[in-house]
Structure formats: C-alpha cells, structure tokens
Structure 1
C-alpha cells in the first residue's frame, strides 16, 4: 500500500515538473523546486534533481550542463506539453491576466500557472516575431480616476496564508494594525478578497461575532492558516457586501439623493448615472439630479469635491 502511494506521489511530482519546463528558454532545478514548494509539494532539492534526470531520459528535454546550475528546457522540435504551444493570442491573454489578476487568484492556483506565465512572457519577448501581440501590451492600460498612489507593500507569505485559508474555508490566525496604528490579533473566517484601486481587502468574520469586516491586507503583519475548517455563512454574498457600500465606508443604508449641479461639472452623470433610477431635469445652465444611493463616507467625499458647482444637496433616508 505504501509503495503505491509513493509511486503516485512520484508521478504527481514528475507531472508538475513537466508542466513547468519551458520550451524557448531554460529553467533550473532550484527554480522548479521553489515552484513546487509554493503549491504545497515540499521535496528536497536533490529529489527534484533526480526526477529531472529521469525525465531527461524519457522525454525530449535538453539539459545544458556547460555550467552550474544546469538549465533545462524542452527540445524546440518536440511536441512537449500543451502549455508550450501557446498561440500569440493566448500568450497575450496570460500576460494581461498575470498583471491584473495576481492578487485575485488563489495563491496555489497562481503558483501552478507559473509555467504558463513564464512561457507567455518569453513568447512576447521583443526578439521574437509576435510584434503585434507584444505591442498590444503597450496599447492598453487601466487608469485611475483619482490621484495616483503607489500600491502598499504586501507580505507575500502573509498573502499566501490568507489566500490558502480563503480557498480551503479554513480559520485564519492574524495579527494586524488599524488606521489608528493600534496592534490587534484575532481568529477570523476569511470570506472574500476585494481590490479597490491599489488596495487589497480581506472580508472576514471575527471569531465570536456575526458581522463582517474589511481588513486592509497590507496592515496584516502575520497570518497562519488553521487546520480547522468552517462552514461558509449562507447569507453572505461578496457582491451584496459591495452593493451595500461597505468598501466605501457605508453600512448599506439606502437614501434618496437630490441636488443641483452645473452642466460643466455634471455632464458626466448623463453618461454614467449614479443609479438605475436616476433622473435628470435639464435647465439652461444646470441639472437637477435625483437618484437612490447608499449613504457612505465616499459619497460625501464625492459630493464635497464639486464645491461651488453643486448646491441644495439633500440626502434623505429611505424607510424599509
């Protein structure tokens, strides 16, 4: 029985290594060893090296032993695995995915895709012929509506623990500090991840409480995934949490909003409404706007930003 388990383990390791060997550039045993550890396949470096030697004997894998560390890649004339046959369009899609979805993918899934990302990066190399796909990366951008800020630093080990706990529905032990720089600790149920601009938030429930909170991940200094799992609350939906304005410092209170605004300052509201029920009455020099919104600090900050271009602002609570 133990022998069969060992054989199965060896096959899993070999397959994971095969997936990560590139075709058009070289990787090393150390790099492959690190990638395996990131997805929970912890083996010593020598074991990875032995597996590589075996794979070189049975597959079209080229070993460059002219200097150490040895480099490994698929023979360029071989069929190799599916990931080595990326089309230029697939390489472009993967490159964009890595740039914009890095913190929204589970850490173990992101690690398992590392071979794809590396191959995509190589195929979009300026020295290759995929010029149109490579140029596309310079033709698209996500731009900020507010003053650009550099992203806060996130501890990669902390993020991996959070991601794994969220993925497996495991309790999470954390240490963090709040906006007042008070240091705290607790056990939480991780329920969701949300990216707001450059900030990444963990939505969670603290042990002993039945309400949700958002914690800025860059303020979490330590995190350890527990072996204890939990049943995800059936009433919680991340989309509803967002709709209730919780990421905008609100509590889900719906209000009726009305105001007057100059045409120059308010024209964008005719193109991007505040709500589905928004109505606008137009006059010669201004608009009169009505909409149902969620009361939040972000809404108040947005209204204050118009200064003298907005007047007679009325925000009335709607009774349920």
Structure 2
C-alpha cells in the first residue's frame, strides 16, 4: 500500500465503522452509499472486503441468511468505537430534542439507533453524575402563543430533503390557505407547482421549504405540512444569480409578507419606558437609536423590513407602542385597532356564548385609540 494512501484508507475505515448501525442492520450497498455521502468514492467490492477485514478485529455481526448480507454492531460493542463518550451522548440528546427536524429525512432512520445509544449511555450513568442532567435543564421555547407543530408526511419530507441534497426540481401538490368564511369548512385549495428547492427554514415548530418557481423567480415560503404530494424530477435547479440562504434571510425575507425587492422602512415608535428598555436590550436594527420624550415615553427609530410580521408585532404590543412614522403604516395600524374595537364592542354572536362583560378590554382599546395623536 503506498504511504500516501494510508491516511485516506484509515479515514475510510473509521467512517465505515461509524456508519454501521447498532440495533438495525444494513447491507454493504447501503454502507457504500453512506461512505459516498462522507466523501469516499469506493466500490462495492472494496466495502465488502473492508467489512470482512474489520470483522476480524471488531465485534461486528453479519446476517449471512439475508440476501444481500446485512451488517450491524454486536451487543458487546457498548464501549469502544461502537460507543460514545458522555459529551457526545449529551450533544446527540440535545440535537434530538431541538434539531431533529433539521436533519435530512433519509438520515432520520439511521440516527434512530444513535439517539437510542445516547439515551442509554446517559441513563447508565445515573443521577450521581452531573453532566447527563444537563439535558433536563435546557429547553428551546418558541416565543408567542404555544401551538402544537403541524404534522409533516415522512414521505414528503424524504422527497424534499433528497431533492435539496441532489439539487433537482420537484413537482408538488400544495394546499394554499383560502379566505373561507366558515372556519369549520375545508379552507384550502390545491395547486400544482414545479419548484426549485433552495433551503429549509425552521420557525418554531413549523418547517418551511424555501423554493423558487424558476430561474430568476423570487424564492418563497412553502409550509412542509401543506405539501400533499411530491416527486423529484431529473432537471437541475436554477437558483437566482448569487443565491445565498444566509444573505436572503439576513435581508429580512424570513419574515412573512415581505414583497420581493422591497426596501426597509424607517420605523419611528413612541414606546412605554418598559418597552423602550426592552428594545434597547434587543434592538430592532443595528443602527437603532432612541431618546426620551417629554411625556415620559421613549422615541425609538430603526430601519426594519416592511412585513406582515411587523404589523402583527405592532398590533400585539399596541398598548405599549405607538407608530409615529411612516404615516401609511400608522394609518393601517389605527384601522386594524378600530376593527378590533368594533368586534369587542359588539355583543357575542354565537348562541350560548359566554356573556362575560368585555368592557375592560373595549375600554382599553378605546383608550389606546384616543391616545393616537397625529404627528
């Protein structure tokens, strides 16, 4: 064996050992594909030869009655290369809790044994060791109203993730939300698209496919749970010129409702002292500035993306935040608040509805509107 090939051979053998599962079994063909994903161009015959050689030195099991033969780690491989360290087990456990949806779908089954191994590793240590308890002390909480994540069909996730990896187009049937008056009726219409997958974005418990409909077409959001059918096609994707997911997100496109090519707006707010302090701790923009106002509030100015999400944020905090500029946005928020007030002042329409007095809420909305002085 030439000296210069030894490091590459060692790396390939180590990756092969790591690719062999513990509880389930895989064929040499599947292991060949896993090695290719890790950057090793190797023939099936070479994989088979490596497996036989490694079997002489490591506790590997082969099911020779299956066609093709399948491989797995033996039960005595809980320690050593087949096992994992405590920090590794802790990291895998946290990944399972918070990032599992970000893994390519075809890897989930392979990671199931890794997740199980990590759980067993931490459980064996017991409560007398500090580090395993870290997984019980860390959680990722989505801001806003807690909602159960929508269910994504595993087959759809597999097609989409494979298309992303292979950089090919997909044909989908997509259920778009409609404006149905009846909330209990089917509120979606199905449309067919040919999409160019560009990336995945996780927002809270919801996963979105970022995709365009063709060359130079602006990318958009497609909720994974609304994709009813999907299949890969052989045509390569045509991303926008100079496409970068990070740059696209940093431009504010991760916020819903931003029109392609739209420019940020100069937002000027009159905030309560509490909200002003919160915005100083977590600014809306790198160049945000603020100053005290004569009425005790805080004037905040920042350059922000003009999106639906901005409007949701402003309406949700309307008791603490008044829009001073731009005037069009101020008028829009005023109109939204007046609609809300009209709904609260009307008697509940549903029969048998709770007749609790909502006047405090209405009074608060009315007070907020009365404080919206022209500027």
TM bracket, shorter-chain basis: 0.7 to 0.9
Calculate the TM-score normalised by the size of structure 1: 0.75
Is the contact made by 1:186 and 1:207 (CA closer than 8 Å) also made in structure 2? no
Residues 37-96 of structure 1, C-alpha deviations (whole Å, 9 max, x = no match): 9x789xxxxxxxx99x97997455387x9xxxxx962425874x3xx2421011111221
How many angstroms apart in 2 are the aligned matches of 1:272 and 1:166?
Answer: 34
Tell me whether 1:120 sits opposite 2:131 in the alignment: no
1:94-147: CA deviations, max 9, x gaps?
221232222223334555544433322221225657832321111111112201
State the secondary structure of the residue aligned to 1:256.
strand
CA offsets 1:180-208 (integer angstroms, 9 cap, x no match): 21101121110111011111111111147
Pick the aligned partner of 1:295 from 302, 306, 320.
Answer: 306
Greater mean alpha carbon deviation, residues 199-208 or residues 244-253: 244-253
Mark the CA change 1:56 to 1:157 in structure 2 (over 3 Å): closer, same or farther: same
| 1:247-258 matches, cutoff 5 A | 247-248=254-255, 249-251=257-259, 252-258=262-268
Task: For residues 290-314 of structure 1, give each alpha carbon's deviation from its aligned partner in whole angstroms, at most 9, with x where no partner exists.
Answer: 1111111111111112223323521
TM-score after normalising by structure 2: 0.65
Please tell me whether the aligned partners of residues 105 and 154 of structure 2 are also in contact (alpha carbons under 8 angstroms). no
Mapping of 1:99-138 within 5 angstroms?
Answer: 99-125=97-123, 128=126, 131-138=129-136
Seen in structure 2, the aligned counterparts of structure 1 residues 285 and 106 have a Cα distance that, compared at 3 Å, is: same
1:160 aligned residue: 158
The Cα of 1:229 is off from its aligned counterpart by 2.1
Counterpart check, 1:260 vs 2:270: yes
Larger Rg computed on CA atoms: 2
Q: Determine whether 1:277 maps to 2:293.
A: no
Which moves more between the two structures, 247-256 or 123-132? 123-132
CA RMSD across the alignment: 3.7
C-alpha contact 2:125 2:132 (8 A) present in aligned 1 = no
- Residues 255 and 294, structure 1, Cα contact 8 Å, conserved in 2: yes
Secondary structure at 1:240 match in 2 = helix
Aligned to 1:238: 245
Aligned length: 282
CA contact (8 A) 1:244 1:253 kept: no
More displaced 10-residue stretch of structure 1: 195-204 or 280-289? 280-289
SS of 2:304's equivalent? strand
Q: Could you tell which deviates more after superposition, 105-114 or 221-230?
A: 105-114
Point out where structure 2 has 5 or more consecutive residues left out of the alignment.
Answer: 1-11, 36-47, 64-71, 179-187, 329-375
Q: Structure 2: how far apart are the matches of 1:210 and 1:135?
A: 48
In the alignment, is the contact (CA less than 8 A) between 1:124 and 1:130 conserved in 2?
no
- Greater CA drift, 129-138 or 176-185: 129-138
What pairs with 1:1-320 in structure 2 (closer than 5 Å)? Answer: 19-22=19-22, 27-29=23-25, 32=26, 36=30, 58=56, 60-61=58-59, 73-76=74-77, 79=80, 81=81, 84-125=82-123, 128=126, 131-180=129-178, 181-207=188-214, 210-248=217-255, 249-251=257-259, 252-283=262-293, 285-315=296-326
For residue 225 of structure 1, report the CA deviation from its aligned partner.
Answer: 1.6
* Matched residue SS, 1:204: strand
Structure 1 unpaired stretches of 5+: 1-11, 42-49, 66-70
Q: Contact 1:126/1:134 (CA < 8 Å) preserved in 2?
A: no
CA distance in 1, matches of 2:323, 2:127: 60
Distance 1:140 1:57 in 2: 40
Q: Distance in 2 between matches of 1:111 and 1:184?
A: 31
